[in-house]
Amino acid sequence: SAVISQKPSRDICQRGTSLTIQCQVDSQVTMMFWYRQQPGQSLTLIATANQGSEATYESGFVIDKFPISRPNLTFSTLTVSNMSPEDSSIYLCSVSGGGNEQYFGPGTRLTVT
Amino acid sequence: DAKTTQPPSMDCAEGRAANLPCNHSTISGNEYVYWYRQIHSQGPQYIIHGLKNNETNEMASLIITEDRKSSTLILPHATLRDTAVYYCIVRVKGSSNTGKLIFGQGTTLQVKP
């Protein structure tokens, strides 16, 4: 299994600002995924991040709003740009395990005021 | 992408078996059935997955019907700590073959003393 940590665990931000969320994995992984979970809702995939290439975004998510970096095989960042209250969510990163399962980080709880 | 249908909520008495159903009638031959759960305020946790045969691990058993159109997750002796939202997911393969997960609304299992 993979152990995933995220920073910050939570934050309260003002509208119009940006927040960068970090995801660190304890082993090298090819693919990392970023999800959003809005209050009371299920998880929605934002993008898939491969090391050394541009992230692949899902429908409804764009790079200008959610830029992603993947500088190496154990680390990724997701930035939530020009935030509005609608961006208040839990943001989670995950990685694929060797047996097709995915492991998730604890999440970053973002509140935009 | 195959979709899944789960009851929104279920109750189970502590110590009894919890049987969580899932319908996935449009599943294709190379798609796996995955189960995850999300305990309040935590990231989702992988439970089990299968293709066509029944599977068992230390957490649960997965029973997949012969036509693969439905499955049941069984927690043999539910405890209060098993109270969570349980997600049945069919693993999709996108154009980049990422194996990304598409989450539905899941079943909220309440284990009662």
pLDDT > 90? residue B55: yes
Q: Give the nearest partner residue to A48 out of B46, B87, B98, using CB atoms.
A: B98
Q: Give the nearest partner residue to B98 out of A31, A43, A97, using CB atoms.
A: A31
Which pLDDT value is given to residue B51?
87
pLDDT in tens, chain A (113 residues): 789 999 999 999 999 999 999 999 999 988 899 999 999 899 999 999 988 888 999 999 999 999 999 999 999 999 999 999 999 999 999 998 766 678 999 999 999 99
Q: Give the nearest partner residue to B43 out of A97, A100, A107, using CB atoms.
A: A107
pLDDT > 90? residue B36: yes
Q: Cα(A105)–Cα(A4) distance, rounded to whole angstroms? A: 5
Which pLDDT value is given to residue B2?
61
Query: How large a percentage of chain B has pLDDT more than 70?
Result: 91
Residue B57: CB atoms within 10 A of its CB come to 10
Which pLDDT value is given to residue B90?
87
Which pLDDT value is given to residue B92?
62
B19 touches B72 (CB < 8 A): yes
Report the residue of B86, B101, B105 to disrupt the A interface, i.e. the one with the largest count of A CBs within 10 Å: B101
Residue A104: CB atoms within 10 A of its CB come to 23
A79 φ, ψ (degrees, to nearest 5): -105, 130
Q: Which of A41-45, B47-51, B75-79 has the highest mean pLDDT?
A: B75-79
Report residue B94's pLDDT band, with 50, 70 and 90 as the boundaries: very low
Residue A21: CB atoms within 10 A of its CB come to 23
pLDDT > 70? residue B29: yes
Bridge partners, residue A44, by sequence: A36
- Identify the residue with better confidence: B32 or B12: B12
Q: Show residues of chain A in contact with B43, CB under 8 Å.
A: 4, 92, 94, 104-107
Q: Cα(A96)–Cα(A104) distance, rounded to whole angstroms? A: 9
A25 touches A77 (CB < 8 A): no
Distance between A84 CA and the closest CA of chain B, angstroms: 22
pLDDT > 80? residue B111: yes
Name the nearest CA neighbour of B104 among B90, B83, B94.
B90
Q: In terms of DSSP H, where are the helices of A5-103? A: none
B20 touches B10 (CB < 8 A): yes
